[in-house]
Structure 1
Amino acid sequence: MSLAIIAGALGLAFSNIDKLSRFKGAGFEAEMKMVEAIIENQTEPSSEQREEARRADAITDIESRVLNSLQKPGYTWRYAKTVAGEVSRPLREIESTLSSLMSRGLAKKAAGSNGEIWAATAVGKSVQEQHELKAR
């Protein structure tokens, strides 16, 4: 009986998932920002996003390295401290770079269990790809 109630509650939650920002119950928790980032991370940028990336300002080499670190396979969200270690730059510089990328729509942040977590947007991925192509 309790299993049927849980299944029904989950079914109702997912039928209205577009209206939820956070769902918690029966040992299950989901936050839409996290789900959206996972989906965006696993999909290719759309043609509109690629065109927006072409119109975006050029990025620096360090911004490219930060965006590349945010796209590391197996991870959707990254802590600034982890990114700083991977690109061998001071944490303050990486935090500033991430904020700059976010203000331009190339990165986004959310709250993680140990502080702010960061992810590249689809436009950010496309801008980083174009930067790498130009550098070749």
Structure 2
Amino acid sequence: MELAGEMGLAILAGAIGLAFSNLDKISRFKGAGFEAEMNMVHTIIENQTEPSPEQKKQAIQSDVLSNEEARILVSLQKPGYTWRYARTVSGEVSLPLNKTESILFSLMTRGFAKNGTGSNGEIWAITNVGKSAQEQYEQKKNA
């Protein structure tokens, strides 16, 4: 029992090492007081990058956005937020919550949005393909 502190530290170091050795393969890791949620980190990084040429091409090949879908995608891109609750988005775009949720699920199935779990329920984020589709929608609208 003399080395209990050292043993705990070794376990924590091992847990951290395991988490970071396979960043692309894990979605959630918890051990020895350390927890990693890689989907959240990936989304934050994706939110700060521009869509790739492949993602732009995918957005071009996708069907056209409706006005409501475009407004929801704009709301998902609100500066300072990576993840948004449907209730918040619903208020910002002035649509009923059930309609907003339906549109969010439609956007997700088309690869324009993704969801996760937040402290108060389901949360939503825009993907790079969604960013590109929304940008193209705005360009067509303003042309």
- Residue 94 of structure 2 is aligned to residue 88 of structure 1: yes
- Tell me what 1:125 maps to: 131
Q: 2:110 aligned to 104, 110, 123, which one?
A: 104
Unaligned runs of 5+ in 1: none
Which structure 2 residues correspond to residues 43-54 of structure 1 after superposition, within 5 A?
43-54=49-60
Q: Helix, strand or coil for the counterpart of 2:131?
A: helix
Alignment RMSD (CA, Å): 1.6
Sort the Cα spacing of 1:24 and 1:121 in 2 relative to 1 into closer, same or farther, 3 A.
same
Per-residue deviation, 1:73? 1.3
Unaligned runs of 5+ in 2: 1-5
2:130 maps to a residue whose letter is G
- Tell me what 2:141 maps to: 135
Take 2:60 and 2:25, find their aligned partners in 1: how far apart are those partners?
A: 33
Does the Cα contact within 8 Å between 2:12 and 2:33 map onto a contact in 1? no
Take 1:21 and 1:44, find their aligned partners in 2: how far apart are those partners?
A: 23
- Tell me what 1:57 maps to: 63
- Structure with bigger gyration radius: 2
Greater relative contact order (CA < 8 Å, ≥ 6 in sequence): 1
Q: Share of identical aligned residues, percent? A: 68
> Structure 1 residue runs of 4+, over 4 Å off?
2-5
Calculate the TM-score normalised by the size of structure 2.
Answer: 0.86
1:62 maps to a residue whose letter is E
Q: Helix, strand or coil for the counterpart of 1:132?
A: helix
Which structure 2 residues correspond to residues 5-84 of structure 1 after superposition, within 5 A?
5-84=11-90
State the number of aligned residues.
136
Q: Helix, strand or coil for the counterpart of 2:82?
A: coil
Post-superposition CA distance 1:35-64 (Å, at most 9, x none) = 221111111110000011111111011111
Q: Helix, strand or coil for the counterpart of 2:24?
A: helix
Calculate the TM-score normalised by the size of structure 1.
Answer: 0.90
Per-residue deviation, 1:28? 3.3
Sort the Cα spacing of 1:106 and 1:10 in 2 relative to 1 into closer, same or farther, 3 A.
same
